[in-house]
Structures are given as C-alpha cells and as structure tokens.
Amino acid sequence: MKYFPGNIVCRLLLAFVLLLAAVTPAQAVTPERLGLGLVDVKALDPAIIIDLKYATTDNFTGQVLYPSARCLLRESVAWRLVQVQRDLQSQGLGLKVFDGYRPLTVQRKMWSIVPDENYVANPATGSRHNRGASVDVGLVDSAGRELPMPSKFDEFSERSHLDFEDAPADTLRNRQILQTAMRKGGFLPVTTEWWHFDAPDWRNFVVADADPRLVPGPATEQVLAVAEPAPGQVASVLWGLEKTPQGWRNVLGPIPVVLGRSGIAAFEQKREGDGKTPRGVFGLGPVFGYAATALTRMPYRQATAEDVWIDEPSSPRYNQWVKGIPAKESHEKMRRTDGLYQLGIVIGYNTDPVVPGRGSAIFLHVWKGAGQSTSGCVAMALPDLERVVAWLDPARQPRIILGYQGE
C-alpha cells in the first residue's frame, strides 16, 4: 500500500469537493417561491374593493408591512370569493378585502412585533394567509361605502367575536349578512374574528413566500424565472416552468445566465445607462435574429443592417425598434458585427407606457461568455437560448420574472 503525504490528500479532497460543486445542479426554484398558483383578485372581478390594511399603517402593528397593495389568493379560493361578490351584488352589496395572501417574510415581521399566538400565527408553522387560502373581508353598500361592524378590523377584543351581541343592531345585522354570504360560498369562519374566513381545502396549499410584485397574471401558463445574483455578482440561473392540469412544473433549467454589470435594479428604479437589469414581471417577444427564420412558435423578426433600437430618452421613438439609421438619435444596431444578437427575445420592459429615461433595449440574447456582464440584458449560451425560444408558446402568454429571491 502506498501512503500519500497529508498535504496531497488534502489537495485531492479539495479537488473532489470542487468537482462536486461544479457538477451539482442549482436548487430548482419552486412554484411556491414564485407565487405561481396565486392570482390577483382584482383581475378576476374588478368590482371587489381592495383595501389591504397591511400595505398601510392602518393595522394593529401601525407599520407598512406589504411591498404593494396587490391582493392575491389561490386561484380556487379567489373564484370562491368572486361568487360571494356576485351573490352580494344581487342584494345591493359587495365585498371589501382587508387581507389575502401574506408572504411568510411578512409573517416573520408580524411575529417580531407581536410574538403572541392569540393574535399572530407563528411563522415556524405559517398561517393560512401564508398559504393564500384565507381572506379578511367586510361589506360595502352599492356606492362602495363600508358598512359598520361590531368592531373595527384587527380589533383583538371580545367585540370582534361572532358571539358578541352587545352592539348596535345594524352592525349585528351586517355581520350576519357577511357570515351567511361567506358560508354559502364555502368559506369557514373564525369565531374570534368576524372578518376572517378560510377556504375549506386550505390544508391542500403549502406556505409560500413570494413577492406579490413578481407574480404573473392568471392567464400566464409559461414562466421564465431569473434569480437575483449574489451581491457583487452578475452570474445567475434561469428556469422555465409551465402550467399543467396537475399544477406548475419545472421543464427548463438550470440555465446559466449573466445580467447587467451593476446587478438588478430595485423595483421601478431602472434608468437608462445604469448597467442594471430591471426587476419585475414582463412580457416576451418577438424573437429576433440574423437568420431569415428561427425554430420558434413566437413571432419572429429578422434583424437587418437597417434595423436599430432607439435609446435616446428625448426621442418620441424611445425604446422602439425602427428601420432606418437615424442621423441624430442615439441608437443601437440590431444586426451587430458580433454574434450577440444572432438570436434574441425582446423583454417587454418599459413598453406600456414608455417612460423616457427608464431604460431601453432589454433583451434575452447570446452572451460573450460565462461571467461576462451585459449592459442590463439577460444573456446565455446560444444552445440554451435556442432551447428557450423553441419552448416558448405565445398561446400560453409567457412571462419572465427577473430578480426573484433565491430559496
């Protein structure tokens, strides 16, 4: 038997560990992390009034806890709520939603403020709100005026209990109307909070921690998702997910990508020339490239020597693909002398409406190489991009999520 010096053994072990790290795939993004399966209540029924209290200071914590006032619920739960709204409308009434899906991150903040399970669910197990399966609601009249109840929302006292009767008759009547309507819709009440209702199948949904600003609309059935890179890094990964009858599943990835040289911008903070990739949910298309055609179902446009993208903020054609090289407007050629745009996909950033100076020409395109940043686009190897464009289907309303937080 041969014996190796200790330092050689250490080197061999280190090399083995590095090899494993190099070939071990990145942890797959879960649909729950992206909030897939959650839908915007307002998109299903604009008549439902949304007044998310935790997006304001008007709540028991006195703090703004939500990053946006967008109300999300699991799709089946949201449709239950829509049916309740329609039943109430026949009585000249309607719903006002105070809370719906609550990210687990927010649950942790609530717990740090009020660590009391009488009022706040322990984030170690999560709440039914964290599953997108609970909703807090009140009643409004036909003019949208909120109807009084025996207590205010989020008042943790006996006045909020369903058996509390020492209150004005009209408030007791309003409470009963709400309870009857929600129970008819299949919701389960909570005896200590007149406003809180659970879906009967809430156990079927897992706790999620998605940013509501990054959840695509209910019609989207294909999603590309790009994680926020580590601080000071430009390398990330892209995943492709699609909706099936059994739910969302991963079908592409991990695909190595690189982002803007200055990382990912904060929400709505992208600016022309800042070298940052925008954060948000955006549409996709058309696909473009140097060849006459491409293997894709998406709309395709061939880039010629006469095609440019206007990046001059003062131009009325800012952030648009135009034909004909302008004399004065700053622009980028769509048919370059290198191969970066031999295949690409337009990311629908800053397009509806176009805001001058908020950034332009954001694409998925071919990279210079691993680790080499872009000016704000998302870039990858040509074979990977070919897989992506072949997979995308415009009938499934694909979207790209840029900047989700990793697991």
- Which positions are annotated as active-site residues? 193
Distance (Å) of CA 316 to CA 13, 51, 306, 359: 61, 37, 19, 14
The count of other CB atoms within 10 Å of the CB of residue 209 is: 20
Q: Where are the beta strands (DSSP E) in 67-217?
A: 72-74, 93-99, 134-141, 188-190, 193-198
d(CA 377, CA 373): 9
d(CA 131, CA 206): 5
Instruction: Please give the biggest Cα pair distance in the chain.
Output: 92
Omega of the bond leading into 256 within 30 degrees of 0 (cis): no
Helical spans, DSSP H, in 231-381: none
Helix axes 169-184, 75-89, angle to 10 degrees: 130
Which residue in 179, 196, 210 sits closest to 74, CA to CA?
210
d(CA 107, CA 103): 7
